[in-house]
């Protein structure tokens, strides 16, 4: 698989995961948890709708990192690629059969 095709497939899988929150695990940090359930739902909806990926934040075009401000709070999210057992890096992030995606949602100051 060429690098361009792999990046396109990874981007597609990441976008699907962000939109539906299926196909991986969601990790919300303590700071975001402290905002409460209603604000968490607003944040997750905003992450699902996020499309302002820039070359500075998304140099490989994988849609695996984003930063946004919601009600004055700066939120960061990132997707990491682990093997299915969560014991190390995925051998191929373009292959969902060997990859567990983990979406981490955090306050900017927790980064």
pLDDT value at residue 5: 80
Domain boundaries, the chain: 3-110
Mean per-residue pLDDT, 62-79: 97
Name the DSSP class of 91. Answer: S
CA torsion 81→87→92→93, rounded to 10°? -10
Residue from 104, 99, 95, 103 nearest 85 by CA? 99
Residue 57: pLDDT over 70 = yes
This prediction's pTM: 0.94
Mean per-residue pLDDT, 14-36: 97
Evaluated on CA atoms 94, 13, 10, 64, the torsion sign reads negative
Residue 2: pLDDT over 80 = no
């Amino acid at each position: 698989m060429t690098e361009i095709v792999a990046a396109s497939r990874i981007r597609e899988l990441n976008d699907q995961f962000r939109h539906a929150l299926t196909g991986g695990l969601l990790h919300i940090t303590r700071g975001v948890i402290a905002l409460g359930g209603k604000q968490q739902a607003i944040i997750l909806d905003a992450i699902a709708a996020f499309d302002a990926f820039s070359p500075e934040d998304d140099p490989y075009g994988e849609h695996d990192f984003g930063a946004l401000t919601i009600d004055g709070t700066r939120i960061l999210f990132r997707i990491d690629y682990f093997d299915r057992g969560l014991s190390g890096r995925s051998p191929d992030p373009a292959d969902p059969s060997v990859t567990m995606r983990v979406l981490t949602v955090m306050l900017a100051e927790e980064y």
